[in-house]
């Protein structure tokens, strides 16, 4: 077992700062501190990024009105982060990382497939966030006349990547402290930004945007879900596992969902107003989602804006690199957690270099990435939520690490259901802006939805289909299996070597 990191009633901010030694192991009761309200800080800090403003332009890009985009955004953000809240309950019930807890549904080694997908998603997200922070910094420096070219981008990338990697390698205690300060600083500066650019909102122009079709509205809704909560569900229990086992489940759900959604909801509204007031700004956001927002700022606020942009994006990237390291371990890599996070950092830097220096159409590739990986993650989320709903007892933590325990090794049903839901989902989405994804949408024609050029082509129905199909399939097929598992006597606690299973 690993050494306890604290005792008594102290929280992360009270303990001496040290590198976290926990990997996939269970957090012992003596180490579990705090209350559900402490979940507000990491979730708010990870989602207070000014990138939320850019989602206003992304939503309007579906060809819908302000009011339609507002409805899609509010519903998409609130519902998707509520899913995170439900998954977070598993953390207090099992004391292990999210992608270990899903072994109860997938089996110990069968869970490696969704863990690999989870790892790809979190590495992709941390790469996108670091690249955006780099581009925003270079844009600010360019406007100030301090550079802005390749050299500036390289320095900015090095600084942003270093902050992200250090946070991910050090682990939980440093992340909780960073997120508290990121929340306070970013929150204040974001309010100042909104006050400075409020005169760029033109209500008449916003109100004149024509309405779109129901299919376009659904497409925007699903995009908002994949861009927000569905991008976090696979990490939702990584922080709640540090809470005492007796913590309120409603509190865990509420503080996770509230902390994660309150800033994006506020930023989305103002982002819609800005993008709806200026087609030129809306178009520029597609190429440089953060840097474009500086074009309407007074020069004196450019440096504070760079601070708020970088801190907000780093806040999300730090949580991603921490969880991606855990997902990589759950996928079967046998190294300490900090080395997994360091490896992810190397891949993150390589991907950021590609986006910053070589990629052309950022928005097209970004939407393709979100939608494509959003489908299998939605399928995993459906299975995880249904499995959690079927259980009446806490997880047997020892059997989460034993292939021959109650949860099994490679049960076929959840894997087949995941692959089936993913295949159906990919058949109902299209990504024409990304050349490498044009093969998707193969079910739109056979199902009478107009094919790849029809009205339903950009509705992204595949994400919802994968979520619902996996959820209902698990409820129908796994009830008996769960009852049989919970009818067994508790197993022995795992030894230290089991955590590398």
Q: Are 2 and 477 in contact (CB under 8 A)?
A: no
Q: Which residue has the tokens 């390289």?
A: 154
Query: Closest Cα to residue 473, out of 406, 410, 409, 379?
Result: 379
Out of 89-98, 327-336, 488-497, least confident range: 488-497
Which of 61, 87, 85 lies closest to 73, judged by CA? 61
Q: Can you tell me which residue has the tokens 């090095």?
A: 158
Given phi > 0 = left and psi -120 to 50 = alpha, else beta, which region is 228? alpha
Locate the domains of the chain by residue range.
Answer: 29-364
CA-to-CA distance for 203 and 325, rounded, in angstroms? 45
Asked if 456 contacts 450 with a C-beta cutoff of 8 angstroms, the reply is yes
In angstroms, what CA-CA distances link 95 with 29, 70, 288, 303, 491?
9, 37, 40, 42, 16
User: How confident is the model over 440-468, as pLDDT tens digits?
Assistant: 999 999 999 999 989 999 899 999 999 99
d(CA 457, CA 315): 34
Determine the topology of domain 29-364 in CATH. Hydantoin permease (1.10.4160)
Q: Summarize the confidence of residues 113-134 as an average pLDDT.
A: 89
- pLDDT tens digit sequence for 265-292: 999 999 999 999 999 998 888 777 888 8
Classify each residue of 293-324 as buried b or exposed e, where b means 16 or more C-beta atoms within 10 Å of its C-beta: bbbebeeebbebbbebbbbbbbbbbbbbbbbb
User: With the C-alpha atoms ordered 250, 253, 255, 258, is the resulting torsion angle positive or negative?
Assistant: negative
Q: CA-CA distance, 96 to 167, in Å (whole number)? A: 20
Residue 403 in 3-state DSSP? Answer: coil
- Which range of 231-240, 342-351, 475-484 scores highest in mean pLDDT? It is 475-484
pLDDT above 60 (res 13): no
- Please check whether residue 55 is in contact with residue 356, taking contact to mean a CB–CB distance below 8 angstroms: no
What would the pLDDT profile of 386-406 be if each residue is shown by its tens digit? 999 999 999 999 999 999 999
Q: The pTM is what? A: 0.85
pLDDT reading at 8 higher than 60? no
Res. 205: pLDDT tops 80? yes
3-state secondary structure labels for all residues of 291-352: HHHHHHCCHHHHHHHHHHHHHHHHHHHHHHHHHHHHHHHHCCCCCCHHHHHHHHHHHHHHHH
What's residue 434's pLDDT?
67
Note whether 400 and 108 are within 8 A (CB). yes
Q: For 415-440, how does the pLDDT look when each residue is reduced to its tens digit (9 = 90+)?
A: 999 999 999 999 999 877 667 788 99
Contact (CB, 8 A) for 156 and 309? no
Residue recorded with tokens 């991907």: 351
Look at residue 29 and give its three-state secondary structure: helix
Q: How high does pLDDT run on average in the chain?
A: 87
Question: Tens digits of per-residue pLDDT, 156-171?
Answer: 889 888 888 887 777 6
Longest dimension (CA), the chain: 69
Q: What pLDDT score does 357 carry?
A: 84
User: Alpha-carbon distance 296 to 280, whole Å?
Assistant: 11
Burial 183-196 (b: 16+ CB within 10 A, else e): bebbbebbeebbeb
Report, as an integer, the average pLDDT of 226-243.
91
pLDDT of residue 6: 33
């Amino acid at each position: 077992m690993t050494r306890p990191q604290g005792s008594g009633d102290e929280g992360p901010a009270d303990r001496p700062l040290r590198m976290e030694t926990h990997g996939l192991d269970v957090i012992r009761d003596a180490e579990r501190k705090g209350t559900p309200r402490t979940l507000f800080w990491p979730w708010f800090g990870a989602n207070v990024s000014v990138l939320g403003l850019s989602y206003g332009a992304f939503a309007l890009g579906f060809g819908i009105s302000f009011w339609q985009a507002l409805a899609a955004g509010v519903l998409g953000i609130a519902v998707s982060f509520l899913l995170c809240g439900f998954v977070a309950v598993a953390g207090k019930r099992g004391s292990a990382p999210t992608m270990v807890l899903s072994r109860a549904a997938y089996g110990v080694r069968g869970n490696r497939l969704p863990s690999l997908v989870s790892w790809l998603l979190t590495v992709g997200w941390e790469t996108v966030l670091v690249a955006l922070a780099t581009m925003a910094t270079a844009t600010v420096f360019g406007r100030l006349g301090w550079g802005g070219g390749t050299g500036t981008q390289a320095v900015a990338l090095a600084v942003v990547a270093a902050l992200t990697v250090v946070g991910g390698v050090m682990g939980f205690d440093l992340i909780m402290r960073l997120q508290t300060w990121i929340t306070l600083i970013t929150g204040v500066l974001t309010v100042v930004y909104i006050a400075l650019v409020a005169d760029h909102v033109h209500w008449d122009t916003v109100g004149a945007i024509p309405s779109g079709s129901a299919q376009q509205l659904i497409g925007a809704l699903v995009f908002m879900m994949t861009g927000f909560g569905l991008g976090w569900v696979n990490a939702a229990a990584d922080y709640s596992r540090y809470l005492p086992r007796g913590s309120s489940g409603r509190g865990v759900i509420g503080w996770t969902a509230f902390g994660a959604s309150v800033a994006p909801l506020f930023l989305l509204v103002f982002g819609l107003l800005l993008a709806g007031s200026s087609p030129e700004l809306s178009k520029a956001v597609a190429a440089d989602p953060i840097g474009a927002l500086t074009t309407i700022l007074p020069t004196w606020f450019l440096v504070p804006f760079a601070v708020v942009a970088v801190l907000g994006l780093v806040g999300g990237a730090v949580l991603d690199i921490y969880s991606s390291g855990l997902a990589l371990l759950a996928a079967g890599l046998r190294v300490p957690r900090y080395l997994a996070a360091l490896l992810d950092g190397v891949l993150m830097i390589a991907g950021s270099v590609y986006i910053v220096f070589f990629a052309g159409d950022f928005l097209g590739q970004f939407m393709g990435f979100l939608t494509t990986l959003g489908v299998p993650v939605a399928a995993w989320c459906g299975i995880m939520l249904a499995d959690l709903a079927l259980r009446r007892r806490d997880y047997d933590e020892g059997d989460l690490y034993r292939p021959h325990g109650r949860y099994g090794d490679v049960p076929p049903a959840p894997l087949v259901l995941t692959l089936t839901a993913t295949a159906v989902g990919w058949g109902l989405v299209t990504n024409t802006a990304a050349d490498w994804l044009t093969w998707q949408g193969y079910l739109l024609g056979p199902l009478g939805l107009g094919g790849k050029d029809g009205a339903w082509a950009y509705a992204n129905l595949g994400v919802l289909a994968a979520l619902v199909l996996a959820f209902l399939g698990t409820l129908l097929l796994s009830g008996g299996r769960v009852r049989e598992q919970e009818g067994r006597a508790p197993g022995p606690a795992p030894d230290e070597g089991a955590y590398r299973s």
